[in-house]
Structure 1
């Protein structure tokens, strides 16, 4: 159902990684759940490099629970030994119940107090069978209970992810505003409240994810063609976007990922 590698710059370096559609109880709250696990030999290091989706995540790990904000740059994490995480890519309806200021979390994370949720997910992940499904079900039910009834204004905001980062998403903030039947100013307030980034930055991030995927997976397609098909002004615009967020050019990325 999901492309597990979208947003991951070097999929061959991934440990075991899964994405799950949310159970019905959490469909209005979560875009999907994600779950990496690793058990590396002593001395082995796995360096994960990701262009994250422009959204907040609630993440459970053995050490605790964190609310992670949207990012404006590439993120890296070095894995060693063994471990796991269970994360939820949040929709506005869930963000509404967890923080009143998504913009304060941009490029950072904060500890989130949810001891019962943490204990139950840790116990589920320690089971031998169906641990992924059990952990996701516990997580979904906890979010659903916390959210309760979703206000109508938040339900409207919940349509933003599809318009801004979904397949066939809007190419400009103005187009996104039209699709959502709101003014551009209202759209800006919505993204600030529930994601923490302006609409243009969210669209750029989706386009960069798409570009990285095509550069890596379709080596025969020219960079100029990729730029044109994804709405970049030209090849130089694509290269500039890569440099500013990732720190390298599309050509360098294509070479390293081949």
Structure 2
């Protein structure tokens, strides 16, 4: 990875979020780059409460958080199956680690990644989870570079070991993300020389969700990004491009995930 990605995929009303908070992505230390998408850092100071919304990626995150009036804490945030909403108010800070899909398992080798799916587990609620980690050591420094270095130190201390299965899972998800022609799990498994059952077991153990879920989620991310663009979207054409049988299927999936139909969402933004 040459640099953190710059797209806004998954962020609902990204322009509004960026107007309310200071959001940055940072690159991890070189030994960590095979496993991570990026670090994401947010600081805010708000006079009125604001709720951010994200359509989660098929990624596990470790998140260090400080909200005004609360003690700092850290948690493992497994892949979210629903729209994620976070209320922000007052002052606060978040330092997040977004793993590549398939990249978290080497940092928690004792459990299949599906064990974390749909869950948010605080370090202090699970004493065996990264014992001795002090969230304040990562959140307190005023200098951003110092916080990034602290994230590097935390992850490097876990000494992830090379895992060919993790490498395979990451490569397969990258293929799904970049190749729009991948639409059916059976066809994808056959092209990769695997049985559907073996592919599903690999994804459960290393990604946390099945390949069909990943295919559908990346479709919605792309549709969401189109809806946020300034250009008028031909939803029927986009549905075909994304591999849907028809426009109605795209609208149904978008509405189920985001909460409103794509045309309503786009009109609300523009």
* TM-score w.r.t. length of structure 2: 0.84
CA change 1:161–1:138 in 2 (3 A) is farther
Show the counterpart of 2:81.
72
Separation in 2, partners of 1:161, 1:85 = 27
1:94 matched to 2:111: no
Separation in 2, partners of 1:76, 1:247 = 12
Once the 2 structures are TM-superposed, how far is the Cα of residue 175 of structure 1 from its aligned partner? 4.7
CA change 1:19–1:178 in 2 (3 A) is farther
Moved more, 111-120 or 216-225: 111-120
In the TM superposition, what are the counterparts of 1:18-37 in structure 2 within 5 Å? Answer: 18-37=24-43
Q: Residues 93 and 139 of structure 2 are in contact (CA less than 8 Å); yes or no, is this contact kept in structure 1?
A: no
Figure out how many residues of one structure are paired with residues of the other and give that number.
250
- Please list the CA deviations of residues 5-40 of structure 1 after superposition, one character each: whole Å capped at 9, or x if unmatched: 211111122111112233212112212111111111
Separation in 2, partners of 1:67, 1:176 = 30
Show the counterpart of 1:171.
183
Once the 2 structures are TM-superposed, how far is the Cα of residue 48 of structure 1 from its aligned partner? 0.5
Structure with more helix by fraction: 1
Q: Residues 33 and 88 of structure 1 are in contact (CA less than 8 Å); yes or no, is this contact kept in structure 2?
A: yes
Show the counterpart of 2:221.
209
The correspondence for 1:249, drawn from 251, 261, 264, is 261
Separation in 1, partners of 2:135, 2:159 = 17
Show the counterpart of 1:59.
63
Q: SS in structure 1 opposite 2:56?
A: coil
CA change 1:144–1:206 in 2 (3 A) is same
Q: Residues 93 and 147 of structure 1 are in contact (CA less than 8 Å); yes or no, is this contact kept in structure 2?
A: no
Q: Residues 17 and 35 of structure 1 are in contact (CA less than 8 Å); yes or no, is this contact kept in structure 2?
A: yes
- Please list the CA deviations of residues 134-182 of structure 1 after superposition, one character each: whole Å capped at 9, or x if unmatched: 22232123223313321333332332331233x3363332454356543
Q: Residues 105 and 166 of structure 2 are in contact (CA less than 8 Å); yes or no, is this contact kept in structure 1?
A: no
Show the counterpart of 1:50.
54
Moved more, 46-55 or 11-20: 11-20
* TM-score w.r.t. length of structure 1: 0.87
Q: SS in structure 2 opposite 1:158?
A: helix
Once the 2 structures are TM-superposed, how far is the Cα of residue 46 of structure 1 from its aligned partner? 1.5
Once the 2 structures are TM-superposed, how far is the Cα of residue 230 of structure 1 from its aligned partner? 1.5
Q: Which runs of 4+ in 1 moved over 6 A?
A: none
1:82 matched to 2:106: no
Separation in 2, partners of 1:162, 1:243 = 25
CA change 1:175–1:119 in 2 (3 A) is farther
Q: Residues 46 and 80 of structure 1 are in contact (CA less than 8 Å); yes or no, is this contact kept in structure 2?
A: yes
- Please list the CA deviations of residues 196-219 of structure 1 after superposition, one character each: whole Å capped at 9, or x if unmatched: 211101110011010011122044
Separation in 1, partners of 2:192, 2:137 = 38
Q: Residues 159 and 180 of structure 1 are in contact (CA less than 8 Å); yes or no, is this contact kept in structure 2?
A: no
CA change 1:147–1:203 in 2 (3 A) is farther
Q: SS in structure 2 opposite 1:40?
A: strand
Give the aligned CA root-mean-square deviation in angstroms.
Answer: 2.1
1:155 matched to 2:167: yes
Unaligned runs of 5+ in 2: 67-71, 124-128
